[in-house]
Amino acid sequence: MTELLRIEDEGAVRVLTMNRPDKLNALNTELTAGLIDALEAADADPDVRVVVLTGAGRGFCAGADLTEFADLTAARPDAVRDRSELTWRLQSLLPSLSKVVIAAARGPAVGGGAGLLAGADLAVASTTLKFGYPELSHDIVAALVMTGLTRAMGRKAAFELLALRRMLSAHEAHDAGAINRVVADEDLLGTAMEMARSVAEVNPVAMAATKDLFYRTAEAPYPEAMRAGRDVNQIMRSFRS
């Protein structure tokens, strides 16, 4: 995976760089599988406290590699199922990790790439960002990235992106709640690393519990969310060094 995915450590920060710049880092099967393995490995590594996910070249990720779709037909149901399972694993993985994931995006972040950006815990984008879900233009459904989108943005704004296939600028994506910060292109990775180092300063047990509780309460009914908060509150003293 050294060709398709660069993996570098800077202290407690692991930087994963999708490395298909000539394809705008489109997610083929090999890169998708490599990302899953790398994210799970980072989550299991006690020396890693935060992950920065970015793309080489002028784009973050152009989504699924459509050249593979020619083989994904009703005549090959096993291939269709396996590719769907792989995409499902990647798109559902980020919120389930115990480590914080920060996306650093420039240029196109569309389809599956938009799903990775929306699914990250924190996201910073350069002013060159183009964020959107063009699946319907290709007669397909944004099925495996829709859940992350509706949780990152309001329902009306999310459905507009799907139905009208609009591309949002960095500032529009920020105003819609899909990203945290917009910076100059030359400041992108530096800003993401600054955020990552701040996250890495926190007790990792407390940070993992914060992330877990955040996602459990985000969609839970109020009483259930409050009970989950109560349970974490009662054990929080164990987080202290």
CATH classification at residue 147: 3.90.226.10
Pairing of strands 130-132, 167-169: antiparallel
Q: Does 182 lie in the same domain as 121?
A: yes
Same domain for 184 and 213, yes or no, is no
Pairwise CA distance, residues 190 & 183, whole Å: 10
Report the side by side order of strands in the sheet with 130-132.
108-110, 130-132, 167-169
Residue 219 sits in which domain range? 202-239
Residue 49: pLDDT over 60: yes
- Residues 169, 189 share a domain: yes
The 10s digit of each residue's pLDDT in 83-96 is 788 888 999 999 99
* Mean pLDDT calculated for residue range 54-68: 91
What average pLDDT score do residues 178-201 get? 98
Q: What is the domain count for the chain? A: 2
Per residue in 148-185, pLDDT (tens digit) is: 898 888 889 999 999 999 999 999 999 999 999 999 99
State the pLDDT at residue 1: 46
Instruction: Return the pLDDT at 239.
Output: 61
Residue 227 sits in the same domain as residue 194:
no
Residue 135 appears among annotated catalytic residues:
yes
Same domain, 119 and 46: yes
User: Residues 219, 119: one domain?
Assistant: no
117 in the same domain as 233:
no
Same domain, 25 and 135: yes
The dihedral of CA 10, 13, 19, 23: what is its sign?
negative
Regarding whether 57 and 104 lie in a shared domain, the answer is yes
Tell me how far apart the alpha carbons of residues 97 and 12 are, in angstroms, rounded to a whole number: 16
Residues 185 and 230 in one domain: no
**Of the residues 3, 10, 40, 135, which is catalytic?**
135
- Of 61, 60, 48, 62, give the one whose Cα is nearest residue 8: 48
Neighbours of 181 (CB within 10 A): 17
Under DSSP, the state recorded for 140 is -
Asked if 134 and 58 sit in the same domain, the reply is: yes
The span from the first CA to the last CA of the chain, in angstroms, equals 37
Please check whether residues 91 and 207 belong to one and the same domain.
no
